[in-house]
Structures are given as structure tokens and as C-alpha cells.
């Protein structure tokens, strides 16, 4: 298996070289892609974006770490354990032979760091064999999205490590936020690193607050709202849940040489809570006297831990709802109601005029709370295609809306909308209006000089219209072929992919319906005379 795997990778490298560097004189010169050999049945494309849609930039020079229960089964697209990427596009695969299913879920966490951005922690759970795409939104500290604000402050700790005066750091009502958050560190508190050593000297404290009223803020919620890797107060594993958040904060403290992990005495975190927050326990908006659970996220493993349940009170000065938690360690801290989920939820089957893979952006809203977005992403809405909810919230009625556009920031118009249905136990049909005006078929293969074999590669292609801000997934080219309806004849697009941590892109005007690339593979190419 090892030699076969290496041969596949050597062929991949050669095909990448021929496509990207040599520039075969063929109509598809412009379709720059990363070729793999589809050795794994499980390919995952990641598009890392700036959470602020007004900025025409994405995180660069990503430091990527894969952790979690099944991290050993996860590889980079080039078959290595080198995950870092110069750009915001990268792909992962599962080790050949690994077969995810409901009874054998594959769980891992993608941890991303980039200069000038908050650390991103994204827990992933795979429940079925196949290819998937993920979007991860990172917050730029100097230009956060609406609903997110940050505050930094430096304090000086003496040689005994005890803070000399009670310190309060508050994030005010800025950047569209409707609520504030603050931390209070009592006098005499000592900061400790991971080994329990006292932290001294100049310590930088960085705090970020995310509200629950801005979709840009919610897009940055670590891993989405379906939590599958979580434990209770005693460390016992819990069944998957859906979080309904009231807001969350991240707190980091460091003196440059040491990172603060805990405290000699608890510090307090106060967060205001929007009165429109939905309480799943009372099935109504929150009010004074309600209780709300709090959760911490381990930033190295992506595991959620149930912490204290706190009471919501009304601040007599601000006349706003708020709650206070006392924390002894640092992480992401969230105020979240939860609802239990079913393993396999409802199934939606689509009817449309599309006969090939047709990806569209979708959103699912909870009917019990107008405007509460439960989930969003991308669906194949070709005629006869179906989609099943996994770990869907029980006893939730919802509405599914499908849009013509490629993403949340460019939805386009509604092309399909369901009635209310239960997210668990239903089977519905949805008509989607997908006018097929123009389709393009891409065909790529490598023809061996020796042996006559034809190698038909597989790879993920991203694209954006020239002048566009961010890349969208064009599709997964399977065995050398991909048909798409996402182009407009005569328009110019930028095609891109990442391989080995590097970005490959090319500008191309789409002028025809069929693009065929046959690459002559030289003698000795692995795979041309058998693997």
C-alpha cells in the first residue's frame, strides 16, 4: 500500500507540474487545478476567509494543526502530515481504508493560526463516505466584522506574580455590538502557565467579544453550532447537541515567553445578554431570573466542556440583562442553551431541471424564533439528489431556503423554499428553480507514452469572477470530469487551488462549453505500467 500511495503522489506531482508550469497548448491552459489521484474516497476542501466581508483579503501563511480522536487518519492532499498553507485554501484527505459512518464517526479538530488574526478552532465530524467542503471564518484583530470587538491591555506583574491592583478590562459598545463584556482580575491574583509556573513581567491581555445578533459574528463561532465533541462537568462524554448562543468571549494572556493558562484565584467575566436571545428551555425570549449554561472550549483539542449554570440578572444602571461567571482557566467561553439531537435526521429530496452536480447556498431557520439561523452551507440540488440532516435538533420545526448565489454575502434570489418540517423524522420533496442556461464540461486526463494507460485525476477547483473578493468552490473534478452551470459565457474568472501549501491560480475567459486537456506523460511515469 505504501509504494502504491507514493506512486500516486509522484504522478500527482508530475501532473501538477505539467498543468501549472509547462502550460500545455490546449483550450484548458487557464483551468489551473491541483491534481490528485482520488486515492481516498474522502476529500475535504477548506476555504479560510476573512470574517469581515468588507475586506478584500483572506488570512495568509496559515499554521495548521490537526488534533482530536482521529487525527492520525487525516493527511494533507499531498499525502503528508504537513498541513501549513501559504494561502486560505487547503485540502485534507482520510487515510485509504478509513470508512466514516454513523456508527464509526471520524472526529478531528482543525486549529489555524495566522498573524494578525484570532486563533481559529474548528471541530469536524464526518459521518459518511464522500467529499465535503468547509468554510472557516477568521477574525482580523485590526478590522473585526460587525458584532465583534476586541480590547488589549498590558499589565506589569512583579516578581511574586501577584497583580497589585484589581484590573478591569471592558469591551464597549462598538462595531455594531449591542452588548458589552468585561473581565475583572482581583488584586493579589497570580497568573500561571501550563506547567503551573508563575507568570511575571509585562503581560499582554487580549479579549474579544462576539455578540449573537450579527451573522458575521456568528459565522466565527468555533466549529459551528452542532457540537459533537463535548463532556459534562465530570468529564463524561455527552451526546451531540445544538447550541443556541447568547454570545461568547475569547481571552488570551501572555508575556511573550509564557502563555497564561490558569489563575491562583478565579477571575470574573461579565457579559450582557440581548433580550431577543432564544431560551430553548422556556421556548421564549430570555428574561431576568432565567438560567443559562456556560461552556469552555479547549483550544488545543476542540472539545467543549460544560461549566457552571449562571442566572441572568438585570443591571440596574444599564437596565440590560447580564450574567457573571467566575473562571479559573482561559479558553473560549460561551453562554449557550442546548437542545438534544437525533443521529439521522430528516431527508430532503430535490426536483429540478439540473441533471449534473449543482451546488447552491442554503439556510435553515428555526420556526419557533423568527430569524434564528440554525445552519447554512451548500447542497447539491440536481434532480433526484437528496440531503439528510445529521445530529439535527429534536422537536425543532424549521424552514429550508435555497438561493441562486454562491454564499452568505452573495445570496442572489430565493430559488426554493420549503414549508415547516421537523428536522428529525421527516421526508420531504423540494422543487428548486435552477434554469440551466449554460454548462461547461471540463475533461482532464494523462496519457502514458509507455503502456497506453490513461490516468484520470481528481481534484478540487475554486473560482471567482474577476474582481470578486473571495473564492467559491466550483466543484470536485472526479476521475477527470466536472460539469458546472456556474459560468456566464464571455465572463472572465480566476481559477485556483492549493497543493503542498502553495496557491496556484490562473485567469481565464470562458468562451466555450467543452474544455479537454490530454497531457502526454513521459516514460517512467508511476502508474503508466501499473501501480
Task: Specify the CATH number for the domain of residue 219.
Answer: 2.60.220
pLDDT band for 26, please (50, 70, 90 cuts). Answer: very low
E-strand spans in 21-119? Answer: 43-50, 63-67, 74-76, 89-94, 106-113
Residue 421 lies in a domain: no
Give the lowest-confidence range in 39-43, 74-78, 167-171: 39-43
Query: In the predicted model, is pLDDT for residue 515 greater than 60?
Result: yes
Q: How many H helices and E strands in the chain?
A: 2, 38
Give the lowest-confidence range in 214-218, 399-403, 511-515, 521-525: 521-525
Question: Alpha helices of 18-92 — where are they, by DSSP H?
Answer: none
User: What's the Cα-to-Cα distance from 169 to each of 155, 184, 240, rounded to whole Å?
Assistant: 11, 7, 34
Give the lowest-confidence range in 1-10, 198-207, 332-341, 402-411: 1-10
Across the range 80-106, mean pLDDT stands at: 92
Across the range 397-413, mean pLDDT stands at: 89
Which pLDDT value is given to residue 1? 45
pLDDT digits (tens, 9 = 90+) for 326-350: 999 998 899 999 989 998 899 999 9
pLDDT band for 461, please (50, 70, 90 cuts). Answer: confident
Mean pLDDT of all residues belonging to the chain? 86
Which pLDDT value is given to residue 36? 39
Supply φ then ψ for residue 33, to 5 degrees.
Answer: -140, 160
Nearest to 39, CA basis, from 95, 111, 101, 102? 95
Residue 277 lies in a domain: yes
3 state DSSP class of 464: strand
Q: Which residues lie closer than 8 Å to 257 by C-beta, 6 or more apart?
A: none
3 state DSSP class of 188: coil
In whole angstroms, give the CA distance from residue 189 to residue 185.
Answer: 7
Across the range 224-252, mean pLDDT stands at: 91
Q: How far is CA 362 from the centre of its chain?
A: 15
Which pLDDT value is given to residue 172? 85
In whole angstroms, give the CA distance from residue 201 to residue 163.
Answer: 11
Range of the domain at 335: 148-339
Element (H, E) at 279: strand 278-279
pLDDT band for 33, please (50, 70, 90 cuts). Answer: very low
Burial class, 439, CB count within 10 angstroms (exposed 0-12 / middle 13-18 / buried 19+): middle
3 state DSSP class of 183: strand
Residue 449 lies in a domain: no
Query: In the predicted model, is pLDDT for residue 206 greater than 80?
Result: yes
Query: In the predicted model, is pLDDT for residue 493 greater than 70?
Result: yes
Nearest to 273, CA basis, from 260, 261, 257, 286? 286
Number of domains in the chain: 1
Which pLDDT value is given to residue 15? 52
The DSSP 8-state label assigned to residue 299 in this structure reads T
Query: In the predicted model, is pLDDT for residue 320 greater than 80?
Result: yes
Residue 48 lies in a domain: no
Q: Would you put residue 173 in left (φ > 0), alpha (ψ -120 to 50) or beta?
A: beta
In whole angstroms, give the CA distance from residue 413 to residue 410.
Answer: 9
pLDDT band for 77, please (50, 70, 90 cuts). Answer: confident
Across the range 441-450, mean pLDDT stands at: 77
Q: Of residues 387 and 32, which shows the higher confidence score?
A: 387
Element (H, E) at 334: strand 332-351
pLDDT digits (tens, 9 = 90+) for 282-299: 988 999 999 999 999 988
Residue 329 lies in a domain: yes
Portion of the chain with pLDDT greater than 90, in percent: 52
The DSSP 8-state label assigned to residue 221 in this structure reads S
Amino acid at each position: 500500500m505504501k509504494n502504491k500511495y507514493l506512486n500516486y503522489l509522484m504522478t500527482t506531482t508530475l501532473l501538477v507540474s505539467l498543468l501549472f508550469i509547462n502550460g500545455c497548448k490546449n483550450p484548458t491552459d487557464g483551468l489551473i487545478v491541483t491534481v490528485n489521484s482520488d486515492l481516498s474516497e474522502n476529500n475535504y476542501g477548506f476555504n479560510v476567509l476573512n470574517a469581515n466581508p468588507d475586506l478584500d483579503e483572506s488570512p495568509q501563511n496559515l499554521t495548521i494543526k490537526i488534533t482530536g480522536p482521529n487525527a492520525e487518519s487525516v493527511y494533507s492532499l499531498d499525502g503528508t502530515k504537513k498541513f501549513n498553507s501559504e494561502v486560505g485554501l487547503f485540502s485534507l484527505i482520510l487515510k485509504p481504508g478509513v470508512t466514516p459512518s454513523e456508527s464509526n464517526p471520524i472526529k478531528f479538530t482543525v486549529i489555524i493560526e495566522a498573524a494578525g488574526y484570532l486563533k481559529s478552532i474548528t471541530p469536524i465530524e464526518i459521518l459518511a463516505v464522500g467529499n465535503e467542503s468547509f468554510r472557516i471564518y477568521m477574525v482580523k484583530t485590526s478590522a473585526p466584522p460587525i458584532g465583534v470587538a476586541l480590547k488589549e491591555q498590558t499589565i506589569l506583574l512583579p516578581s511574586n506574580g501577584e497583580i497589585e491592583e484589581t484590573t478591569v478590562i471592558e469591551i464597549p459598545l462598538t462595531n455594531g455590538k449591542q452588548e458589552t463584556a468585561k473581565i475583572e482580575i482581583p488584586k493579589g491574583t497570580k497568573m500561571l502557565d501550563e506547567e503551573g509556573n508563575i507568570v511575571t513581567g509585562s503581560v499582554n491581555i487580549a479579549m474579544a467579544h462576539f455578540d449573537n445578533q450579527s451573522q458575521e459574528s456568528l459565522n466565527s463561532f468555533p466549529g459551528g453550532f452542532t457540537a459533537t465533541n463535548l463532556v459534562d462537568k465530570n468529564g463524561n462524554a455527552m451526546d451531540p447537541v445544538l447550541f443556541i448562543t447568547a454570545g461568547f468571549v475569547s481571552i488570551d494572556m501572555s508575556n511573550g515567553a509564557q502563555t497564561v493558562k490558569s489563575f491562583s484565584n478565579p477571575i470574573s467575566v461579565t457579559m450582557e445578554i440581548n433580550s431577543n436571545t432564544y431560551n430553548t428551555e422556556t421556548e421564549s425570549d430570555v428574561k431576568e431570573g432565567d438560567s443559562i449554561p456556560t461552556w469552555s472550549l479547549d483550544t488545543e483539542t476542540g472539545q467543549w466542556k460544560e461549566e457552571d449554570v449562571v442566572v441572568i440578572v438585570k443591571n440596574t444602571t444599564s437596565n440590560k440583562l447580564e450574567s457573571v461567571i467566575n473562571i479559573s482557566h482561559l479558553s473560549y467561553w460561551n453562554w449557550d442553551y442546548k437542545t438534544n439531537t437525533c443521529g439521522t435526521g430528516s431527508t430532503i429530496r430535490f426536483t429540478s431541471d439540473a441533471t449534473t452536480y449543482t451546488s447552491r447556498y442554503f439556510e435553515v431557520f428555526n420556526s419557533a424564533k423568527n430569524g434564528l439561523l440554525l445552519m447554512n452551507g451548500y447542497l447539491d440540488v440536481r434532480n433526484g439528489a437528496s440531503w439528510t440532516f445529521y445530529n439535527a435538533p429534536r422537536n425543532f420545526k424549521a424552514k429550508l431556503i435555497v438561493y441562486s448565489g454562491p454564499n452568505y454575502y452573495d445570496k442572489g434570489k430565493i430559488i426554493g423554499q420549503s414549508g415547516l418540517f421537523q428536522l428529525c423524522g421527516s421526508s420531504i420533496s423540494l422543487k428548486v428553480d435552477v434554469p440551466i442556461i449554460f454548462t461547461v464540461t471540463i475533461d482532464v486526463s494523462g496519457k502514458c507514452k509507455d503502456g497506453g494507460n490513461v490516468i484520470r485525476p481528481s481534484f478540487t477547483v475554486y473560482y471567482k469572477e474577476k474582481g470578486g473578493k473571495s473564492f467559491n468552490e466550483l466543484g470536485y473534478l472526479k476521475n477527470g470530469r466536472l460539469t458546472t452551470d456556474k459560468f456566464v459565457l464571455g465572463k472572465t474568472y480566476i481559477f485556483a487551488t492549493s497543493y503542498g501549501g502553495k496557491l496556484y491560480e490562473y485567469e481565464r475567459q470562458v468562451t466555450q462549453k467543452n474544455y479537454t486537456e490530454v497531457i502526454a506523460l513521459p516514460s517512467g511515469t508511476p502508474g503508466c505500467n501499473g501501480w
